[in-house]
């Protein structure tokens, strides 16, 4: 089921986007000509946006997709950090390890939860398992601990970076869709001019509206996605950097503990 969550979210966003476009923006009450829906009532913003054409519905859907995945990433990354502050948690675990209280460190990892706790617990548990095993002597213990940590990192890192590609894709697509809508709007405006031979204020305004509202919608979706992508990418990078620092400290403690035996 988890495989199809993104597809379901995107499909629902498309449905909602076009429902907003046809039912709310395209409400006949917004227009002077309710049947044709070509001339919005003076000052009616919803009807004016509707004249931007069907691509407006797609752009609304892209904005909804972007916002949905911003919330998804926010809650997922916060969950990955665990219950307490990651920095405080790491310092607490390091102090326990320096005192030789491995069980206490593992208990704190169990309480904290999240990606950092999972990675540190994997390394500590592996060290506990092999500390007194004669098959693992000296450097082999540290190599085995590092392997356990690397395996856990390989499992946790994709979860942190998951769906960031959706945000970057929406940023690119929204810009292109907005540009397409702008181009179609200008074509429509000049076609109306060419067919009538005279300047039709209504037809010209429809074409210009289509161009401008598609541009605005594309830029809005792209800005939300780009800002969110850069924010979460930086957050994940800092997160991984904190984990790497904690792992180095743990390996250093285990190195001293191994040498003293």
Give kind and range of the element (H or E) at residue 246.
helix 201-259
What tokens does 254 get?
A: 């285990």
Kindly list the domain boundaries of the chain, sorted by start residue: 2-80+163-241, 84-161+247-259
Q: Which of 64, 59, 56, 53 lies closest to 173, judged by CA? A: 59
pLDDT at 1: 58
Interaxial angle between packed helices 5-19 and 55-81, expressed in degrees from 0 to 180 and rounded to the nearest 10: 140
For residue 90, the tally of other CB atoms under 10 A from its CB is 23
Tens place of pLDDT per residue across the chain (261 aa): 566 889 999 999 999 999 999 999 999 999 998 988 878 888 888 988 898 888 999 999 999 999 999 999 999 999 888 888 888 999 999 999 999 899 999 999 999 989 999 999 999 999 999 888 788 777 888 899 999 999 999 999 888 888 999 999 999 999 999 999 888 878 877 776 666 556 566 666 666 777 788 899 999 999 999 999 999 999 999 989 999 999 999 999 998 888 766
pLDDT at 200: 61
User: Is the separation of the CB atoms in 114 and 79 below 8 Å?
Assistant: yes
Residue showing tokens 């995945």:
69
pLDDT at 197: 59
Interaxial angle between packed helices 55-81 and 164-196, expressed in degrees from 0 to 180 and rounded to the nearest 10: 170
What does pTM read for this prediction? 0.87
Q: Which of 222, 220, 214 lies closest to 49, judged by CA? A: 214
What tokens does 147 get?
A: 């392997």
| Cα distance between residue 149 and residue 124, in whole Å | 9
- Residue 44 CA to its chain's centroid (Å): 34
Percentage helix, strand, coil for the chain under 3-state DSSP, each rounded to 5: 85, 0, 15
pLDDT at 174: 95
pLDDT at 218: 93
């Amino acid at each position: 089921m988890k495989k199809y969550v993104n597809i379901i979210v995107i499909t629902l966003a498309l449905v909602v986007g076009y429902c907003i476009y046809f039912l709310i923006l395209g409400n006949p009450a917004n227009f002077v000509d309710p049947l044709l829906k070509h001339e919005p009532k003076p000052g009616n913003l919803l009807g004016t946006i509707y004249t931007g054409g069907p691509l407006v519905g797609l752009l609304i859907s892209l904005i909804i997709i972007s916002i949905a995945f911003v919330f998804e990433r926010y809650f997922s990354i916060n969950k990955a950090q665990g219950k307490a502050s990651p920095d405080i948690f790491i310092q607490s675990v390091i102090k326990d390890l320096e005192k030789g209280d491995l069980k206490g460190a593992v208990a704190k990892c169990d309480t904290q939860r999240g990606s950092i706790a999972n990675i540190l617990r994997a390394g500590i548990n592996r060290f506990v398992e092999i500390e007194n095993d004669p098959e693992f002597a000296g450097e082999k213990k540290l190599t085995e601990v590092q392997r356990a940590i690397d395996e856990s990192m390989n499992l946790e890192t994709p979860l942190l970076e998951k769906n960031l590609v959706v945000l970057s894709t929406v940023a690119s697509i929204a810009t292109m869709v907005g540009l397409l809508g702008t181009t179609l709007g200008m074509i429509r405006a000049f076609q109306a001019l060419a067919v009538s031979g005279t300047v039709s204020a209504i037809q010209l305004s429809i074409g210009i509206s289509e161009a401008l509202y598609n541009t605005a919608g594309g830029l809005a979706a792209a800005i939300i996605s780009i800002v969110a992508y850069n924010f979460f990418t930086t957050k994940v990078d800092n997160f991984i950097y904190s984990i790497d620092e904690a792992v180095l400290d743990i390996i250093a403690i285990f190195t001293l503990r191994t040498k003293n035996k």
